[in-house]
Chain A
């Protein structure tokens, strides 16, 4: 071992083709979800261009947000480049940056909203779905098409569509990188295992995000529940986001595994049925607290099942350093 041969080191660098897990996850999960997000944000942008009436815009906003729930857990590669994830969904917003940015632009009637390139440089907190939520659900019901707020809405929608298109384009390149993991010249994925690791980490951290943040933030503590911390509560979609994110994560889990995953399936079904049984769209009903806690615990059980069934089969766990630093 002391003078490990060069051959041994080279052997570690060479690797076979990507596994079915990566290909399936890309073809059945990642790429279709990116396409949906690009389509829905393009539709949102067209709708905003046609007018700022809330009745047309709110459904387009919801459809784009639904599509975001389909990809928000894919926090690596294109979504992690240039702060894009935050520019789409700035949440959790622990210091009220969205309100500050949106109000700042509105008060100054900042002309940057009429310059798409300039708007792409605006603070990530003043862009994306959460800025749009403020504009569509907190402001006036009826917005004149020549108002500043309408111009701002159009700028956000255009920016989201541009990001959606860029993500889809970048993902076609990134998918090629993942499929060629371990091949010569691929400096991003040094082995097929690294591509699987990226997808598996996205699955586990996605489950943690839904449990700890989407459910955990509004739960707060028993003595101090924090209902105003629920995600997208202004548009009444906090619980909807939990359900959609679980469905997306189930899609990723299914595509990652070559073999049946009965424990994982049962755990997802259980969590989703608890979510469906909740009559508390913004997770704010004190009487429903116990049910939200049960849902959070069911999401935790999904994570346990995924680790036992998918992680163990692939020989993967989450980051060695990321989960245990010092």
Chain B
């Protein structure tokens, strides 16, 4: 309790007193986009996909991490990224710039712990290839305060779960910044889903069978004690490779596939995943489709949409964004909410969840 009070005081000193997401128009989602001019920007969107704010970005971003309370978003450069920008979404001003320390680079995702006091970033330990979670103290101007192992190689998305536990998608692919996005260990890659906490370290590691070691676990969603992990197949497709898994702590993962023709049409690639009370869905921009499953992992249906990639849960149920500027609700059928002349980037980030 005392710690909480202390943190609140620090928080207040670090930002505009009482500033909240309401000061940025109470967005339901954040998403980055390329505009027709070729410039990039971060947008705050309402639950129905209307623009609430627009903040220019210096380059194409990857995902954003949203602070749970204050109107702050961390925009990550595309991997291998050396920096991330903390943006005050109420004023549009830059609050902090995070530079990866020597020997580390960002992998494009982050999450907040401890009520928003600690930002956690997925990083590459460049020399050894071991995955690292970088820790940054918000109340100290996002000073780097340490790091812990991610529990695997190539951590990508990380997600804060209830109870100060992180789910980490260790994609398994070793890269080196001097080699760009070249994959250096395809023959030996071993992706996993790890549960990590600051107090207990690596609490649980979930690995799939050896014949699925080329399925890079990259993106995550969580709801009601269940974690969904989305995968990207590396190399020649073993035809119907599963691209989605569901997991509960302590249990074996459940792998989810559609029938062969549909499954192959995903092209071995899931770009994002989201989950609500009833459904879990993955997007494939390469396959131009969304696959919807129930929470037991049974395939429900495919929804076709060219270049679809971002997906998140909101007041309109599952919402998808695409490279043609569309924002649409998945239920009951693909229902367009808004359209703008811009290309939405990989991820649609949900706020307050």
Contacts and interface: CB of A to CB of B under 8 A. Distances in A.
Interface string A223-235: 0000000000000
Interface string A66-110: 000000000011001111111100000011010000000000000
B112 interface: no
Contacts of A87: 261
Contacts, number: 122
Contacts of A201: 306
A325 B286 contact: yes
A195 to B, nearest CB: 10
A187 B239 contact: no
Of A197, A325, A326, the most chain B CB neighbours within 10 A belong to: A326
A123 B260 contact: yes
Given A12-B341, A83-B265, A191-B339, A325 B54 contact: no
20 contacts: A1-B51, A3-B52, A9-B340, A12-B325, A12-B341, A13-B339, A94-B236, A94-B238, A95-B238, A124-B260, A125-B260, A188-B334, A190-B324, A190-B326, A190-B339, A321-B285, A321-B308, A321-B345, A326-B62, A326-B108
Contacts of B237: 94
A319 B304 contact: no
Contacts of A83: 259-262, 264-265
Given A9-B50, A81-B304, A194-B306, A321 B265 contact: no
Interface of B: 25, 34, 50-54, 62, 78-79, 108, 156, 218, 232, 236-239, 259-262, 264-265, 269, 271, 285-286, 288-289, 304, 306-309, 322-326, 328, 333-336, 338-341, 343-346
A186 to B, nearest CB: 9
Contact of A321 (B51, B262, B322): B322
A2 B52 contact: yes
Given A1-B51, A9-B338, A326 B343 contact: no
B269 A320 contact: no
A322 B286 contact: yes
Interface string A306-324: 0000000000000111100
A266 B306 CA distance: 30
A122 to B, nearest CB: 11
Nearest to B322: A321
Nearest to B307: A319
Interface in A170-197: 187-188, 190-191, 193-194, 197
Given A2-B53, A80-B265, A320 B286 contact: no
Interface string A182-220: 000001101101100110010000000000000000000
Contact of B339 (A4, A6, A12, A319): A12
A322 B323 contact: yes
A216 to B, nearest CB: 12
Contacts of A80: 265, 288-289, 304
Contacts of A76: 288, 304, 306
Contacts of A320: 34, 307, 323, 343-345
Nearest to B310: A321
